[in-house]
Amino acid sequence: MLQKMERIQVIGPKADLGRVVDVLYRAGTLHLEDAPKMIPHAEIRLDRLSPGETDNIVQVLGRIKAIFSTLPVIADDAGIQAALRASL
């Protein structure tokens, strides 16, 4: 089945690039391409956020952090993680 594709841009520390690409590739939900080869440099831009937008992002991140703080801490278990991935 054909689906409409949207172009997204992932921005972050270069040191994390390999891990991020691995996670996205394993998820299998994105078609990955090297942006500089496919998109003209002039089309890749970063827009400044207004103070209101940054405040909203900070509030959402605070809520996410609060939600995570309510969850129990569990030890990494490769077996449990594999079972969770299989169930998804």
Residue pLDDT, tens place only, 51-79: 888 888 899 999 999 998 898 877 788 88
Residue 2 has pLDDT above 80, yes or no: no
Residue 5 has pLDDT above 80, yes or no: no
Separation CA 27–CA 33 (nearest Å)? 15
pLDDT of residue 44: 67
pLDDT confidence of 36, banded at 50, 70, 90?
low
Yes or no: say if 57 and 49 are a contact pair by the CB < 8 Å rule. Answer: yes
DSSP state of 33: -
Percent of the chain with pLDDT over 70: 88
Judge residue 74's burial from the number of C-beta atoms within 10 Å of its C-beta, 0-12 exposed, 13-18 middle, 19 or more buried: exposed
pTM recorded for the entire structure: 0.35
